[in-house]
Amino acid sequence: MNVREIQQALRTIGWPVSVDGQAGPQTKSAVWDFQSGFAFRPLAIDGQAGPQTQEALRECLDKGGKCSAYFAFREFKSKGNGWIKIARLHAFRLDRYREQVGPVSVISGHRDEAHNRKVGGAKDSRHLHGDGTDIPGARSLDQVRNMRLFTGIGVVRATGRVVHVDSRPGDPANPTTWRYG
């Protein structure tokens, strides 16, 4: 694939990149984030679209833009600047969660810094890192904690339902938990 084809593939998958044939910082960042989030197999994360990354881009396109078995890259797009960031481990954990509970939608995935500030997100929100996701409140804290998938779990106080999961550094057997409201 030449640079223009790589850019077009990234744009089709969901990244707001220019298709100009120039391998500039925007393209390198998109390749880096694609490599970081492609959960079908590990890729070197270097921002260079070498043969393995190009093969993964083609595979992703063939699978309708999926980053994992159940989720597409564009589901994690920031509602601010439209950038996509999802950590491979987090995508893997979300797949395991979905296998246990059924269909799960992404209410909020990645947040760029400006959008995170706008919505009142934590200064170092896991959404900024691509490993935090807001989901519909379908399960209780105990149900999600017992799955031993996530290292951060946010619960709505009034309902006891989990509405945020993340993969911050830590142990899924002993996740950080907090309550909203």
The 10s digit of each residue's pLDDT in 97-142 is 999 999 999 999 999 999 999 999 999 999 999 999 999 999 999 9
Band the pLDDT of 143: cuts 50, 70, 90: very high
- How large is the average pLDDT for residues 159-170? 98
Band the pLDDT of 180: cuts 50, 70, 90: very high
74-181 shares the fold of 1-66: no
Classify residue 163 by its DSSP letter: E
- How large is the average pLDDT for residues 163-172? 98
Task: Name the token pair of 132.
Answer: 């935090």
Given CATH 2.60.120, say whether it is the number of domain 1-66: no
Task: Name the token pair of 133.
Answer: 């996701």
Four-point Cα dihedral 166, 85, 134, 177, nearest 10: 20
- Cα separation of 108 and 133, whole Å? 6
Q: Where are the domains of the chain?
A: 1-66, 74-181
Q: What is the pLDDT of residue 108?
A: 97
The 3-state secondary structure of 84-133, one letter per residue: ECCCHHHHHHHHHHHHHHCCCCCCECCCCHHHHHHCCCCCCCHHHHCCEE
pLDDT per residue as tens digits for the range 85-104: 999 999 999 999 999 999 99
**pTM to 2 decimal places:** 0.95
Cα separations in angstroms, 162 against 47, 89, 91, 146: 34, 19, 17, 13
Pick the CATH number of 74-181 from 1.20.120.530, 3.30.1380.10, 3.40.50.1220, 2.40.110.10: 3.30.1380.10
